Amino acid sequence: MRVLLSSAGLENQVIQSYFVNMVGKDMALVKALFIPTAAIDPGAIAVLPKCMNDLLKCGIPEENITVFDLHTGMDLDTLRQYDVVYLCGGSTAYLLERVNQTGFRESLLSYIRENGAVIGVSAGSLIFANNLPGNLGLIDTHLDVHCPTGAAPGKLPWPCPNLRLTNNCALAMDGLQVVGISEETKRL
C-alpha cells in the first residue's frame, strides 16, 4: 500500500523525498491525476496552485498532470493509467459525497489494493479515516489535520483511537504499518 496522508501536502523536503521514493519512478515520466473536488470555498480554492506546485516541484511535467473534478466516476482501467492520485483539501463531506456518488470509491480502493500511489491533503486525507460516515475505511481511526502538535516520526503504535497531523508531517501507510513522516524523521 502506497498512501501518504498529510495536512498540507509536500510541505517540506522530507515529505517530498518520501513521496518521490514512494512513487518509485523517474518523476519526468510520472502521470498524475489531480483531484481538486474538495476545494469549494475561497480559502481552499486559493490553495490549489500550491497543491499543483507540489507535483511540479517533484519534477512531474505539467503536461503529465490531468485535472479531474469528479463530476463523473472513473473506471479502474482508466485510473491504472496514472502513477499517482493527488486528492486536494477543502470540504471533506463534499469530496466524500462525490467519491461515493460517482462510483470512484470502488476504483480508488481497488487502485490502492493494486499498489497504486495516493497522496491526500487535508480533506483528501480525512476521507480515508473514520471521521465521517461513508468514509473509505483505509484507517480505522479518527484523523485530525492542521494541528499544533502531531504524530511522532517513525513507526506509530497501531491501532490507536486518534491520529493528529501538523502541517509539517504526514502519515505513510506502508504495508500494514503506519509511519509518521516529518522533519524529525531524517534524524531517526
Q: Determine contact, residues 142/130, Cβ cutoff 8 Å.
A: yes
Which domains are present in the chain?
2-187 (3.40.50.880)
pTM above 0.85, yes or no: yes
Cell of 161: 483511537
For residues 47 and 9, the answer to whether their CB atoms sit within 8 Å is no
Distances in whole angstroms, Cα of residue 27 to Cα of each of 30, 62, 63, 120, 188? 5, 11, 12, 18, 26
Question: pLDDT tens for residues 86-131?
Answer: 999 999 999 999 999 999 999 999 999 999 999 999 999 999 999 9
